[in-house]
């Protein structure tokens, strides 16, 4: 890329080089007649094995590649928990365990029925197919037809983990049969090896490596890494509504503020925490809150920063009686669904880890072991909802993230059941040669009250904050974004990332966030 002089102007400016932003920028720049600038506050991941080697993903938590957001004190949750948000090109697709799911049909159809017109499964599934190359799908009559020539490689994790093999047999023994994933049929009760967006050599097929790396030579695509957005630029002088004209950035040395302008549109893809933060710093958000922190109100948008949803995660951990694997694709290779009766989607999911995961346990003195495995129950349809708010009007200051974990009784009940189901699986005959001492929560936690006290103090998250700038019907004041991802009340701005989900999907949302980026680029290119 030739040296860039500021102020700089492009047809499209994408603020946030994460999971959706990379997809948006790559698809828009397929048109050689337009210029696109992709802005990422973190470094590039090109040639960086710390990022690209998927097996090393847990090293990234609380590292220099992590914004590492604390949360506000929780009345019924773990106040010490931290939200990992990626500070690197590719966003959380460069930072996560790469578990790859299409959203269940029921989730997407609920989005459409709730006011996000055009986002039903029938309308979204073609964009999943467009983004992926699925290497080893299961052929079933119900399958929606997997993609074969998209940029993102999706494949099934291998079975080179004997404890994992025994775990799947144990699941069968307690009524959770081995069931293929990503077939177009929602798995209500069942287990299997995960599919991951990773190449056969073990490297990530992240949004950056799939969409951006092959296209860095495009003369119409400029990728700025290390530039952090301070605010969106707003023109309030033109007749009609305010117009977003680009962004003011801080240079990598933080010494200078520079402007990047968009002739056509600006796309905000900064994620469910930094997205609403940047909107509020730009004067778009709940008016009373903006005035409290000294930000001039441009648009009173009460839904910005509301509706924060996540998948809270518990942990049941055992010492292993046999040596656990010393190599793995990404150490979290099996998923288990154990939904309650009477639901269309499962309300309980587990990730199986072939390594200890004591991130939130050591402060309370729980024993650990280097040779351990765990099951992490998570509430897939949590009803507790929180907020993202500004702490100050300074762009460098971390926002206030308040998930309000377990403020809804439903989430407590599902998580308690999750611990009991995990113990039931561990007690099955197939795991007799593997399960040693239960390290956490341990034998002392037996009643519902004891189990929830353990969860309340030690729970984690599956790192899926979403829904804070949700899309919805034009007359829904709490939905800041239209169904074509345009921010209401201004011109020239769309939002494309996990924040626009009306409700968090049941499964890991990374591939759905890429799909949102694909759809955003499609809306723009079709002029809708």
Give the active site residue among 83, 95, 311, 464: 464
- 191 and 334 in contact (C-beta within 8 Å)? yes
* Cα(28)–Cα(462) distance, integer angstroms: 31
Q: Is the CA virtual torsion 211, 216, 217, 221 positive or negative?
A: positive
* Cα(446)–Cα(278) distance, integer angstroms: 45
- 38 and 25 in contact (C-beta within 8 Å)? yes
Which spans in 212-310 are helix H? 271-281, 287-292
Host H or E run for residue 222 = strand 221-225
Q: Which tokens is 134 given? A: 């699925």
- 158 and 50 in contact (C-beta within 8 Å)? no
What are the CB-based long-range contacts (under 8 Å, 24+) for 245-252?
Answer: 245/492, 246/9, 246/13, 247/13, 247/15, 247/39, 249/39, 249/224, 250/395, 251/226, 251/227, 252/226, 252/227
Which DSSP string corresponds to 1-28? -----SSEEEEEEEE--SHHHHHHHHHH
Is 95 in the active site?
Answer: no
Q: Which of 187, 176, 418 is nearest to 315 (CA)?
A: 418
Which spans in 114-220 are helix H? 121-131, 162-173, 207
In the chain, what is the greatest distance between 2 CA atoms, to the nearest angstrom? 74
Our CA dihedral for 284, 285, 291, 294, rounded to 10 degrees, sits at: -50
Which DSSP string corresponds to 470-518? -B--TT-TT--B-TTSBBTTSBSEEE-SGGG-SS--SS--HHHHHHHHH
* Cα(30)–Cα(9) distance, integer angstroms: 18
Strands 316-320 and 372-379: antiparallel
At residue 310's C-alpha, the angle toward residues 227 and 462, to 5°, is 80
Catalytic residues: 464
């Amino acid at each position: 890329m030739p040296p860039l002089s500021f102020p700089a102007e492009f047809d499209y400016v994408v603020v946030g080089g994460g999971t959706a932003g990379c997809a948006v920028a790559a698809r828009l720049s397929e048109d050689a007649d337009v210029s696109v600038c992709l802005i990422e506050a973190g470094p590039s991941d090109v040639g960086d094995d710390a990022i690209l080697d998927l097996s090393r993903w847990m090293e990234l938590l609380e590292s220099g590649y992590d914004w590492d957001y604390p949360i506000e004190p929780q009345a019924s949750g773990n106040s010490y928990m931290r939200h990992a948000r990626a500070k690197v090109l590719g966003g959380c697709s460069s930072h996560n365990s790469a578990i790859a799911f299409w959203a269940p049909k029921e989730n997407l159809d609920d989005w459409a029925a709730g006011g996000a017109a055009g986002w039903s499964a029938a309308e979204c599934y073609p964009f999943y197919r467009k983004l992926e190359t699925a290497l080893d799908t299961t052929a079933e009559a119900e399958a929606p037809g997997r993609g074969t020539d998209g940029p993102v490689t999706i494949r099934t994790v291998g079975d080179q983990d004997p404890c994992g093999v025994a775990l799947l047999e144990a699941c069968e023994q307690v009524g959770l049969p081995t069931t293929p994933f990503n077939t177009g049929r929602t798995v209500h009760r069942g287990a299997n090896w995960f599919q991951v967006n990773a190449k056969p050599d073990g490297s990530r097929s992240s949004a950056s490596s799939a969409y951006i790396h092959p296209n860095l030579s495009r003369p119409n695509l400029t990728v700025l890494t290390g530039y952090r957005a301070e605010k969106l630029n707003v023109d309030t002088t033109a007749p009609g509504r305010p117009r977003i004209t680009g962004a003011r950035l801080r240079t990598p040395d933080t010494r200078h503020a520079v402007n990047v302008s968009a002739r056509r549109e600006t796309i905000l893809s900064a994620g469910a925490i930094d997205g609403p933060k940047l909107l509020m710093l730009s004067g778009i958000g709940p008016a009373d809150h903006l005035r409290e922190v000294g930000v001039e109100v441009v648009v009173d948008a009460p839904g910005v920063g509301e509706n924060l949803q996540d998948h809270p995660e518990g942990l049941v951990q055992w010492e292993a009686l046999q040596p656990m694997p010393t190599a793995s694709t990404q150490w979290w290779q099996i998923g288990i669904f154990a939904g309650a009766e009477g639901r269309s989607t499962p309300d309980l999911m587990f990730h199986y880890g072939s390594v200890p995961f004591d991130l939130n346990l050591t402060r309370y003195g729980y024993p650990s072991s280097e040779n351990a495995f765990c099951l992490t129950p998570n509430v897939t349809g949590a009803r507790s909802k929180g907020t993202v708010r500004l702490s100050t009007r300074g762009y460098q200051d971390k926002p206030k993230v308040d998930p309000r974990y377990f403020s809804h009784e439903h989430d407590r009940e599902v998580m308690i059941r999750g611990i009991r189901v995990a113990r039931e699986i561990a007690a099955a005959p197939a795991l007799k040669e593997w399960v040693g001492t239960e390290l956490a929560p341990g034998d002392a936690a037996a009643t519902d009250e004891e189990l929830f006290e353990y969860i309340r103090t030690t729970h984690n998250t599956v790192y899926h904050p979403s829904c804070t700038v949700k899309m919805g019907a034009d007359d829904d004041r709490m939905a800041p974004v239209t169904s074509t991802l345009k921010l209401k009340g201004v011109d020239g701005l769309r939002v494309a990332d996990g924040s626009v989900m009306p409700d968090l999907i049941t499964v890991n949302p990374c591939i759905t966030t890429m799909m949102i980026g694909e759809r955003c680029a499609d809306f723009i290119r079709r002029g809708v």
